[in-house]
Structure 1
Amino acid sequence: MGKAAREVSARERIKAQREKEHAQQQRRRLATIITSVVVVLAVVGGGWWYVQSGKSETLSGDLAPISLAADGSTVMAKPGVTKPVLDIYEDFQCPACKAFEQTSSATVKNMAAAGQVKVVYHVVNIFTQEPTLGNTTRASAAARCVPGGGQWMAFHDRIYKEQPPETKQGFALDDLVAWGKDAGVTDPGFAQCVKTQKYAQTQADYNKKIIDSKVFEGTPTLRLDGKEIDNKIAFSPSSLRQTILDAAK
């Protein structure tokens, strides 16, 4: 084997090892999140504390305005609300992110609507192998085809509802188009944008920038005014609400 071939082989082994380590890290993080949720459910009297103070909220009304930021993130906040800032790093294919949506998303939305927090969504792609890589790429690029507003959030939430297992191909382009229409997207260019994956490279560039910044190690990651929030808090709606309120003092 020549020198060039050996170098290529070495790079491939390093890449494979990194992908293996990343997958293991994600499994450990998901296990931690699941454990945190179970602990919350189990605290005091077989779940009584959870039922009393940690249950998921329901949406209380209209959402705060939602807009696409110049840096590629999506902002949900009432006019004039600049702090505290809650950054949410999420991947549409991530099962733990779906669990967060089911558990604490309503709390975040309610607090933003009440002018108590500015929320910044960072949609990233953490998977590096198929079918999850293709799934998350298609979904995140499609989300960029939605101009913002309540339509963006409705589409965002629908994607999580339709999340496929990590071992199966999903988020088909035709389905994404249909879900967008169901979410109220009326832009005549939406279907073409999704089907051509117009923003796939834009999303890839944004994803690289976020990953290179090392602001998160796995998804979901919540940062409040730059400080990472523990999973036990993130997955307990009442604790998350109080933590955000405390940051505003």
Structure 2
Amino acid sequence: MSKAQRQQSARDRIKAQRETEKKQEQRKRIATYISVGVVAAAAIGAGWLFAANQSQSEQASANLAPVTLQSDGTVAMGNAGVTAPVIDIYEDFQCPACKQLEETSGTTFKNLAAEGKAKVVYHPLTIFPPQMNRGITRGNSVRAGAAARCVTDGKQWMAYHDKLFANQPDETVEGFKTAELVELGKEAGVTAPDFATCVTSQKHADAYVAASDKTIAANSLSGTPTVKLNGKKMDQNTAFVPSELRQAVLDAAK
């Protein structure tokens, strides 16, 4: 083999070695990317799982605290002698975010009252202005709010309250028609003898709207749901996370 051939052979071996090393390095990088990706995916998954666990609704208590319908249209739920902490819930039966709060934290509110750890006061109101969606949204809200005032039993009111949120219509369509509201009352077990007539005639509509407007002005409400704990507005990140909500109420009791 000539000198030139030997030199070429050496160059070929070096080139081949470099190609081998390059491929090995590429495989190492790929393996590293995959490992990091798996770890990152696991971390993201764990984060979602943590968030899901944090916002997971509580299991309903076997018992419901006594529910009292008050003359001003508000509804108080709590065991005898429990006067604090007080949770005030300002809600609109047509408000999608209020429905979400009910689905997420509604059970926690009921459980805290049943456990004697809080007094819960519901303030049904209509937050939507008359011109919104050509008045459709406000009309839905007012009909539902007025219908709720036709319920005369506290426990039945709570069942009707839950039915209204569970069957909330879309904001852009006419819903909560009086016939539907009467039917939902039957499903909720409402037994007031004049319930159907009261709902159909919208007997309490004017009083409901007047009380709603007064509540909104007195509390400077700009939206619903608004949750207050001992008169102080609760952060949405607390109100919508059952575990955080419970802890905030327990802390307020200390």
Query: Which range, TM-score by smaller chain?
Result: 0.7 to 0.9
Rounded to whole Å, the distance in 2 between the matches of 1:246 and 1:109 is: 18
Aligned to 1:115: 116
Distance 1:222 1:203, change over 3 A: same
Instruction: Report if aligned partners of 2:55, 2:104 keep a CA contact under 8 Å in 1.
Output: no
4+ residue segments displaced more than 6 Å = none
Normalised TM-score (structure 2):
0.79
Alignment RMSD (CA, Å): 1.5
- State the 1:44 CA deviation: 7.9
- State the 1:127 CA deviation: 1.1
- State the 1:244 CA deviation: 0.3
Q: Across the two proteins, how many residue pairs are aligned to each other?
A: 208
Matched, 1:177 2:182: yes
Instruction: State the SS of the aligned residue for 1:131.
Output: helix
Distance 1:51 1:208, change over 3 A: closer
Aligned to 1:206: 211
Gaps of 5+ in 1: 1-41
Deviation digits for residues 121-174 of structure 1 (CA, Å, limit 9, x no counterpart): 000101123210110010000000001322101100111111111100000101
Aligned to 2:139: 134
- Code of the residue aligned with 1:60 in structure 2: it is S
- State the 1:188 CA deviation: 1.1
Amino-acid identity (%): 52
Aligned to 2:164: 159
Matched, 1:86 2:91: no
- Code of the residue aligned with 2:117 in structure 1: it is Q
Alignment of 1:26-175 (within 5 A): 45-128=46-129, 129=131, 130-175=135-180
Deviation digits for residues 66-98 of structure 1 (CA, Å, limit 9, x no counterpart): 111122210011111100000000000000000
Rounded to whole Å, the distance in 2 between the matches of 1:112 and 1:43 is: 36
Instruction: State the SS of the aligned residue for 2:152.
Output: coil
Rounded to whole Å, the distance in 2 between the matches of 1:214 and 1:44 is: 41
Deviation digits for residues 191-240 of structure 1 (CA, Å, limit 9, x no counterpart): 00000000001101101110111342210000000000000001100000
Matched, 1:220 2:225: yes
